[in-house]
Amino acid sequence: MTKYWLMKTEPTTFSIDDLESSPDQTTCWEGVRNYQARNLLRDDIQEGDQVLFYHSACKEPAVVGTATVVRSGYPDSHAFDRRSKYFDAKSSADKPTWYMVDIQLQQKLDTPVTLKAMRDRAGLKGMALLQKGSRLSVQPVKKKEFDTVLKMAGV
């Protein structure tokens, strides 16, 4: 059964354009260092699930595209690489602490759906992204919310 997710990224770190220019328009979603988000990556997000690609910490935070999960959770190898900014000495290949998934671009939205527009949409009031204190970089989205965002984008 397909599940729906929102994945946040700062466009100065990795943008929808970066995903578009990646080989096969595919990338690993690495570097998540929050245990709750890690659990979603490790246990819940599966191949075939759908993703709202969200730019955060920028002038106009917005859903800017969609992606599909093309590889379910597996150990985040960046945690084992001493040269990586995501290195974690407590994580090892034998006992990984952190996980990632691979996503592939489905589409860039011609009309990004801004955080403000989502807040103003009655049908999205319960969306995790819009809840006070919601800071997870990976969060579940209901199918109805996913569809509403795409409708707002004119898709």
H/E element, 116: helix 115-119
∠ CA 134-78-99, nearest 5°, is 50
User: For 105-143, how does the pLDDT look when each residue is reduced to its tens digit (9 = 90+)?
Assistant: 999 999 999 999 999 999 999 999 999 888 899 999 999
Phi, psi torsion values for 103, nearest 5 degrees: -125, 155
User: For 62-120, how does the pLDDT look when each residue is reduced to its tens digit (9 = 90+)?
Assistant: 999 999 999 999 999 999 999 999 999 999 989 999 999 999 999 999 999 999 999 99
Rounded to an integer, the average pLDDT of 52-57 is 97
pLDDT given for residue 133 in this prediction: 83
What are the structure tokens assigned to 123, written together? 């049908």
pLDDT given for residue 91 in this prediction: 93
> Are the CB atoms for 54 and 61 separated by under 8 Å?
yes
Name the pTM for this structure.
Answer: 0.95
Name beta bridge partners: 114: 62
Query: In a 3-state reduction of DSSP, which class is residue 70?
Result: strand
Domains of the chain: 4-150 (3.10.590.10)
Q: How many angstroms separate the CA atoms of 64 and 110, rounded? A: 8
Q: How many angstroms separate the CA atoms of 17 and 11, rounded? A: 9
pLDDT at 11 over 90: yes
pLDDT given for residue 153 in this prediction: 97
Residues 6 or more apart whose CB falls under 8 angstroms from that of 143 comprise: 2, 4
> Are the CB atoms for 80 and 87 separated by under 8 Å?
yes
